[in-house]
């Protein structure tokens, strides 16, 4: 074409640019739609997951509730009282054992070798004790009584009975005694 007078206002470069932008726009729209669908799907699946988790949480809650109910059922007021009584019983038992142990330890510590204990009767419930013994040295009974009376753990320790017996050869004197007291 030698003469290029052209009244057209059509600008191919502009048109191509416009088409490109248009195409890009539609690609973006399609992409957004796909992304949207994906997002919705994801959201729905996430929703399902959340629902599932919530369901599980509810199940757990129900189980806990059931367990609590079960526990309540197991530990009824009566049962709880029994349990408390048991606890108290074992605590008492433990305390008694402790008291007995302390008593015998004190006794072992305070009893001299020349005194032989025939019987020791401790009633932890009544907090009283009775000691029967014998010795070849009767004068030691008073000393022994004095020692027991000094113990802070005991009170009202008294010599209830003391009997002197002569041996076969009439030379040896055996002294039997009974001491009673209370535990604090």
Partner 1 sequence: MAIDVLIMEKEGFIRTFVEKKQSVRTISGFEKFGYEGKQLFNRKGVELFLDYEYFSSLIDNLQKKVMGNRREAHLILPFSTTWYHTLDVEEVPKNKNEAYEFVLWKISKLIPIPKEQIEIRIDTISLSRELTTLLVAVTYKTFIFDIEKCFREKGIDLTVIMPPTIAILNALEPYLNGDAIILWLKENGFSMIGFLKGIPRYIRELDQTLPLEKLDTELYSFMSAITKSEGISLPERIIFFDELNREELIKFLPPGSTQVKLETLNIKSGLQTPDFEKFVIVVGAAS
Residues of this chain that interact with partner 1 (CB under 8 A) are: 1-10, 12, 15
The closest of 128, 110, 107, 165 to 177, measured between CA atoms, is 165
CB of 4 to partner 1, least distance (A): 5
Strand duo 154-166 + 115-123: pairing: unpaired
List the structure tokens of 84: 């408390």
Whichever of 12 and 126 has its CB closer to partner 1, that residue is: 12
CB of 33 to partner 1, least distance (A): 25
CB of 12 to partner 1, least distance (A): 7
Whichever of 15 and 123 has its CB closer to partner 1, that residue is: 15
Whichever of 16 and 102 has its CB closer to partner 1, that residue is: 16
Angle separating helix axes 139-150 and 77-110, nearest 10 degrees: 140
List the structure tokens of 14: 């502009």
CB of 45 to partner 1, least distance (A): 43
User: Cα–Cα–Cα angle for 5, 11, 17, nearest 5°?
Assistant: 165
Whichever of 14 and 88 has its CB closer to partner 1, that residue is: 14
Query: In angstroms, rounded to a whole number, what is the distance separating the alpha carbons of residues 140 and 138?
Result: 5
């Amino acid at each position: 074409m030698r003469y290029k007078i052209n009244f057209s206002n059509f600008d191919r470069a502009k048109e191509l640019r416009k088409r490109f932008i248009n195409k890009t726009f539609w690609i973006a729209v399609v992409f957004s739609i796909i992304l949207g669908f994906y997002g919705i799907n994801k959201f729905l699946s996430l929703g399902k997951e959340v629902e599932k988790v919530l369901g599980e949480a509810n199940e757990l809650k129900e189980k806990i509730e059931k367990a609590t109910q079960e526990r309540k059922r197991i530990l009824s007021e009566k049962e709880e009282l029994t349990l408390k009584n048991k606890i108290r019983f074992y605590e008492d038992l433990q305390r008694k054992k402790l008291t007995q142990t302390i008593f015998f330890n004190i006794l072992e510590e305070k009893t001299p070798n020349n005194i032989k204990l025939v019987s020791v009767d401790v009633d932890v419930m009544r907090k009283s004790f009775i000691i029967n013994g014998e010795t070849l040295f009767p004068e030691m009974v008073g000393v022994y009584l004095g020692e027991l009376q000094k113990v802070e753990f005991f009170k009202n320790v008294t010599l209830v009975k003391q009997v002197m017996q002569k041996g076969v050869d009439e030379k040896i004197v055996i002294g039997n005694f009974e001491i009673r007291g209370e535990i604090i």
